[in-house]
């Protein structure tokens, strides 16, 4: 039986979502992060929608509820995704991989970029899911913590492995067994999100940066260090730096890592906690080094040779956005065929060449090299085995833990 989760978010959770709306990953479109002419805050429903995001008690977590699968009769699939999270070719033609899928299968894809933020989108689909109704979507893409919640609630369908041979064979080892979906019974990763340490060589002026401790303790970097407003990323990196595993840490471990960061805040080492807006400060050199997202680093490096990155020996944080089929979806088989298609090397490479996030598909390097040799050799897009071995995920949290941890982190950041 699913444990009851409150109908309203705690004040700490609301504060975390405000941070995400204001300057976190939710604040800017993925591909236009660094385009000053087009980047900007996403339109969101505001906090008035948050009260609708509470979750009632749920009973069944045995694979969700299917509807009559109309895939054979209705050659279509409805796919909801984040903004700027699909390939565009050099001529500006949108979504050539989807066009290729339709040519091959005869299945028309209704593709909608209607996900601006996990919580906002959940507010859209929750009423139908809670009522056992079709959302009108066959595939949705959610970040791992929310994907875990929907699986826990029994609101997504169990996948048919016989329809997913490429996905099963080619999903990278780092993504095979998340604690919230062991064996990928209900989801497959769309893209990976790596959290690393980035730096500006000119701003470092000879200072060596290899670990998070270098950022936190070196007086030469005082006031020129950035940390992220996303709790799981910053706290995960801090836990790793202290020799703790984010996959299995205790509340005491969390408090110790928090106290470590608080000391650096108190002595003025941290310039500020940021979302994607750290990119401008890093490029200008106002930040000498910071905790950063790999996709941003790849795009910054394209315009600024002084931008570099380091993977600490202690490891780095890796999360993912994930493909799921919601309850009552009417075209489950068609959806599974589309999911499987993106685990074939060629379409996976086309996607990676445009998006520049971590590709969760093994065996794409040769195909990606045909499109972009630099991308094929970039470990932030295609991690090698050594880098994969250093990746760590932030463990799933209970509702009580999430409230407590977010509240403490909000005090640290001054949110």
For the chain, which domains are there?
76-186+325-343 (3.40.190.10), 193-318+398-413 (3.40.190.10)
Asked if the model's pLDDT at residue 13 lies above 60, the reply is: no
Instruction: State the pLDDT at residue 84.
Output: 87
- Specify the DSSP class assigned to residue 287: -
- pLDDT of res. 15: 52
Supply the DSSP string of 45-109, one letter for each residue.
--GGGGGGG--------SS-------TTTS-EEEEEEETT-S-B-TT--B-HHHHHHHHHH-PEE
pLDDT for position 275: 82
Structure confidence by residue, pLDDT tens digits, 168-201: 999 999 999 999 999 999 999 999 999 999 999 9
Give the strand pairing for 108-115 and 76-82.
parallel
What tokens does 352 get?
Answer: 């990676």
- Span 231-251, mean pLDDT? 97
* Confidence band of 206 (pLDDT split at 50, 70, 90): very high
- What is the Cα–Cα distance from 75 to 80, expressed in whole angstroms? 17
Query: Angle at the Cα of 371 (from 370 to 374), degrees rounded to 5?
Result: 95
pLDDT digits (tens, 9 = 90+) for 313-359: 999 999 999 999 999 999 999 999 999 999 999 999 999 999 999 99
Q: How many CA atoms lie within 13 A of 131 on its CB side?
A: 8
Instruction: Report pLDDT for 10.
Output: 53
Strand locations in 201-305 (E):
225-228, 270-274, 289-293
Average model confidence (pLDDT) across the chain: 87
Higher pLDDT, 111 or 63: 111
Secondary structure tally for the chain: helices H, strands E: 17, 10
Token duo for residue 405: 């941890």
Q: What is the pTM of this model?
A: 0.81
Least confident range of 45-49, 90-94, 171-175: 45-49
- Higher-confidence residue of 19 and 218: namely 218
Q: How many CB atoms lie within 10 A of CB 389?
A: 11
Question: What pLDDT score was predicted for residue 45?
Answer: 33
């Amino acid at each position: 039986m699913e444990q009851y989760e409150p109908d309203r978010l705690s004040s700490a959770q609301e504060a975390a979502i405000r941070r995400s709306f204001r300057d976190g990953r939710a604040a800017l479109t993925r591909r236009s992060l660094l385009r000053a002419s087009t980047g900007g805050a996403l339109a969101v429903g505001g906090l008035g929608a948050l009260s609708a995001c509470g979750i009632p008690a749920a009973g069944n977590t045995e694979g969700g509820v299917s509807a009559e699968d109309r895939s054979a009769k209705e050659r279509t699939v409805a796919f909801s995704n984040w903004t700027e999270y699909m390939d565009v070719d050099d001529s500006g033609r949108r979504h050539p991989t989807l066009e290729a899928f339709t040519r091959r299968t005869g299945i028309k894809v209704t593709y909608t970029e209607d996900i601006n933020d996990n919580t906002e989108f959940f507010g859209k689909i929750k009423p139908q899911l809670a009522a056992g109704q079709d959302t009108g979507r066959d595939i949705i893409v959610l970040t791992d913590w929310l994907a875990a919640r929907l699986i826990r609630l029994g609101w997504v369908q169990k996948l048919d492995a016989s329809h997913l041979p490429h996905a099963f064979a080619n999903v990278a080892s780092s993504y095979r067994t998340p604690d919230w979906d062991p064996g990928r019974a209900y989801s497959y990763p769309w893209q990976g999100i790596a959290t690393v340490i980035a730096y500006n060589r000119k701003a470092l002026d000879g200072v060596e940066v290899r670990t998070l401790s270098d950022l936190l303790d070196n007086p030469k970097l005082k006031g020129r260090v950035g940390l992220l407003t996303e709790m799981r990323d910053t706290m995960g990196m801090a836990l790793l730096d202290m020799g703790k595993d984010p996959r299995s840490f205790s509340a005491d471990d969390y408090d110790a890592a928090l106290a470590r960061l608080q000391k650096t805040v108190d002595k003025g080492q941290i310039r500020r906690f940021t979302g994607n807006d750290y990119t401008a400060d890093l490029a200008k050199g106002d930040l000498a080094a910071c905790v950063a997202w790999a996709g941003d680093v790849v795009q910054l490096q394209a315009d600024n040779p002084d931008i570099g990155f380091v993977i600490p020996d202690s490891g780095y944080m890796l999360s993912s956005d994930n493909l799921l089929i919601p309850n009552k979806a009417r075209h489950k088989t068609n959806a599974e065929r589309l999911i499987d298609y993106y685990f074939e090397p060629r379409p996976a490479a086309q996607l990676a060449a445009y998006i520049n996030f971590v590709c969760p598909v093994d065996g794409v390097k040769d195909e990606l090299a045909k499109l972009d040799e630099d991308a094929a050799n970039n470990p932030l897009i295609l991690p090698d085995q050594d880098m994969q071995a250093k990746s760590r995920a932030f463990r799933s949290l209970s509702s009580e833990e999430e409230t407590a941890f977010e509240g403490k982190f909000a005090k640290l950041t001054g949110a």
